[in-house]
Structure 1
Amino acid sequence: MKALVLAGGKGTRLRPLTHTSAKQLVPIANKPVLQYGLEAIRDAGITSVGIVVGDTAHEVMEAVGDGSRLGLEVTYIPQEAPLGLAHCVLIAREFLGDDPFVMYLGDNFLVGGITGLVDSFLAADYDAQILLTRVAEPQYYGVAELGPDGEIVDLEEKPEHPRSDLAIVGVYTFSPAIHEAVRAIAPSARGELEITDAIGWLIRSGRRVHSHFVSGYWKDTGRLQDMLECNRIVLETIEPGIAGTVDGLSEITGRVIVEPGATVEGSVIRGPAVIGADTKIIDSYVGPYTSIGEGCVLEDTEVEYSIVLGGSAIRGISRLTCSLIGRYVEVTRATRAPNMHQLMVGDHSKVQVPA
């Protein structure tokens, strides 16, 4: 069995961060989202992986390499434009051959892995198996309607009046029959080849399309609040370890990782939290559910429930929370007249300041 991982797309909901960075490489607990998916694929016994890449191909290829570090053999498949999930299957035909495969959206975060999904698919005679989970607001997702034996009888993409609360998770398993389906469908109204249309074609053609339910936790990491929630989930499971340097004036409480080369001076860190390699925490407070990337500097600053990417510096900030700070960002206290905000903000940014 092979795997097809989708790592293209624009990541519009995480702009401006994704103007310069692949959304699949935004870190959760200092590890890229994409890596969690690749590890889940490997743990399910699949080693041959095709990764569909777009505008951020160089960055993805630099992060993953040939896959050997993760125990994988990786082939890169360029996509000229984000033309739909079914289009990814279409352009990956040569790589996939006639093997069954799992298709994994690289910005999905799934706790519990996909071994159960893969094993049940291989044990049955299905042409497609779709991973599902119950959600509170199904109108924002692709939604599946099931028959009495768990078979998929209908699919809807973000319906105004959903017929179920079963959202389609971004992990699928397919037999080679899907190749006929993606060739048979036409682009949707938004000009893309939709995987839901291809699966619908399989259903109408009498193929066996079945459901499988998420056994753990799942999030589509396309929004800030989703990233922070995933970060929280992972940090709750970490094993503490101090590989860096913590001075006698500092206080470390709870599950905290201080990576090699990091230094903590005169500061309080309350876990769960991760302090990246070669980062300096000086006279600061790092609160629960916070990940600080590599090579950062925090000085005279308070931060909690946030993600700070590598190379950034935050100085003199009294309270920073529920935030995602990109790479090589500088956040400092204004030194001019009181009650004044001085900003340099890129396109599609979101800024909250006191009135």
Structure 2
Amino acid sequence: MKGLILAGGTGSRLRPITHTGPKQLIPVANKPVLEYAVEDLRAAGITDVGVVLGHKGREAIQSFLGDGSAYGVDVTYIVQGNPLGLAHAAGCAREFVGDDDFVMYLGDNLLNRGVGELVEHFESGDYAAAIALQHVDDPGAFGIAEVDEAGDVRRLVEKPDDPPSDLALIGIYVFSPAVFDAIEELEPSWRGELEITDAIQSLLDDGLAISSHVVEGWWKDTGKPGDVLEANRLVLEDLDPADDGTVEDGAETTGRIDMHEGAVVESGAVVRGPVSLGAGVAVEEGAYVGPYTSVGAGSTVASTHVENSVIIGDADIDASGRIVDSLVGSGATITSADEVLPDGQRLVVGENSDIKL
């Protein structure tokens, strides 16, 4: 079995962060989202991985993954070009997949329990596809599956007014090569895209069996700033912290703190976990880094209260206010202004920004 990670898309909902980089490389707990997908595939025994790229962010993703050997996989890059839908992206991988079955994984998704159980469901019978599902509170906002008592899919409905269930497709699939013939027969939807739900429904219409698996644990699509912060919180809750940094005498630390090589919590600083401090991070005297915060490599936090935030890296934060629920881009500088500060700041800050608070 092969793996296929979709890493195209424009990341429009994460602007300005994605003006200068792909959304799949935004870090959660100081690890790019894309890396979690690669790890999930490898954990399921899948080491031959295709990565579908769009026009934007191609070089950055290729530079990050390389040939895949650093992550225990063999990576092949496939260029989709214009984003014409998930089914179009899958169709671009036909030559790479060949006659093999494959897992298709949206590169901005995070799963608590990986893809192993979904693969097992697919391999347990004579299925043309298997889809990962999760119960949701607002099924009208998702593609919804109607399944029978055995979990086999009866039909799919995209954002229904009258949902047949609360089981939403979450963007993880297993396919046999039969899906490629279905994709070739598709017509663009009203969005001008080739929809993967239409391809799966075509397999059903042809009498082929589709399995489903309801995902245990949490799932997160990291497509918006709030989703990134929520994913960061969820991962930090379960993180097995590293202890490769230094806590100086006179520093106050409590809870689980994930410290990468060269990270320093200086005397007079306070860090309360769960927190992740990337390589070379300095938390200086007078700074407070509170729960559910990830500070990216090379960043400095001084004289500032930061909580429930993701600082992507190489940032310089030295402001007398409070930064909460914020996503701060790489290379950003945040300092104090002369004006009276409000009690807290909510920020989404793009790369190389220079902000005075």
SS at match of 1:63: helix
Structure 2 counterpart of 1:141 = 142
**1:322 maps onto 2:329 in alignment:** no
Of the three residues 325, 333, 345, the one matched with 2:336 is 333
- Measure the CA separation in 2 of the matches of 1:229 and 1:204: 38
- Measure the CA separation in 1 of the matches of 2:305 and 2:188: 49
2:118–2:212 contact (8 Å) kept in structure 1 = no
Identity of aligned residues (%): 50
**1:28 maps onto 2:28 in alignment:** yes
How far residue 137 of structure 1 moved from its aligned partner, in angstroms, is 1.0
**What's the TM-score once normalised by structure 2's chain length?**
0.93
How far residue 225 of structure 1 moved from its aligned partner, in angstroms, is 1.8
How far residue 317 of structure 1 moved from its aligned partner, in angstroms, is 3.4
Structure 2 counterpart of 1:156 = 157
- Measure the CA separation in 2 of the matches of 1:128 and 1:321: 43
- Measure the CA separation in 2 of the matches of 1:237 and 1:264: 22
How far residue 47 of structure 1 moved from its aligned partner, in angstroms, is 0.7
- Measure the CA separation in 2 of the matches of 1:25 and 1:141: 25
- Measure the CA separation in 2 of the matches of 1:346 and 1:36: 24
Structure 2 counterpart of 1:45 = 45
SS at match of 2:238: coil
SS at match of 1:236: helix
Residue segments in structure 1 that go unaligned for 5+ positions in a row: 348-352
Structure 1 counterpart of 2:270 = 268
**1:312 maps onto 2:315 in alignment:** yes
- Measure the CA separation in 2 of the matches of 1:302 and 1:170: 36
Structure 2 counterpart of 1:91 = 92
Of the three residues 299, 305, 313, the one matched with 1:302 is 305
1:113-147: CA deviations, max 9, x gaps? 11111122122110011110000111221111112
1:294-342: CA deviations, max 9, x gaps? 000111000011100111111123211111111011111112x5479xx
- Measure the CA separation in 1 of the matches of 2:341 and 2:228: 31
1:124-178: CA deviations, max 9, x gaps? 1100111100001112211111123322122122223322111101100011110
- Measure the CA separation in 2 of the matches of 1:245 and 1:177: 54
**What's the TM-score once normalised by structure 1's chain length?**
0.93
Structure 1 counterpart of 2:189 = 188
Structure 1 counterpart of 2:236 = 235
> What amino acid sits opposite 2:179 in the alignment?
I
After superposing on structure 2, the runs of 4+ consecutive aligned residues of structure 1 that deviate more than 6 Å are 344-347
1:9-63: CA deviations, max 9, x gaps? 0111111111111111111100011111110000100111100001111111111
**1:280 maps onto 2:282 in alignment:** yes
- Pairing 1:69-84 to 2, within 5 Å after superposition: 69-84=70-85
How far residue 184 of structure 1 moved from its aligned partner, in angstroms, is 0.9
Alignment RMSD: 1.9
Residue segments in structure 2 that go unaligned for 5+ positions in a row: 351-355
1:65-114: CA deviations, max 9, x gaps? 11101110100000111001111121111101011111000001001111
- Pairing 1:109-258 to 2, within 5 Å after superposition: 109-258=110-259
- Measure the CA separation in 2 of the matches of 1:339 and 1:19: 28
1:181-214: CA deviations, max 9, x gaps? 0011111111111000101111111011121110
Distance 1:16 1:94, change over 3 A: same
How far residue 242 of structure 1 moved from its aligned partner, in angstroms, is 3.4
1:205-260: CA deviations, max 9, x gaps? 10111211102211111122221111111111223443222221211111012221
How far residue 262 of structure 1 moved from its aligned partner, in angstroms, is 1.7
Distance 1:161 1:332, change over 3 A: farther
**1:292 maps onto 2:307 in alignment:** no
- Measure the CA separation in 2 of the matches of 1:142 and 1:219: 15
How far residue 345 of structure 1 moved from its aligned partner, in angstroms, is 9.4
SS at match of 2:95: helix
Distance 1:188 1:236, change over 3 A: same
- Measure the CA separation in 1 of the matches of 2:233 and 2:272: 13
- Measure the CA separation in 1 of the matches of 2:187 and 2:312: 41
Structure 1 counterpart of 2:353 = none
- Measure the CA separation in 1 of the matches of 2:306 and 2:162: 41
- Measure the CA separation in 2 of the matches of 1:165 and 1:339: 44
Structure 2 counterpart of 1:350 = none
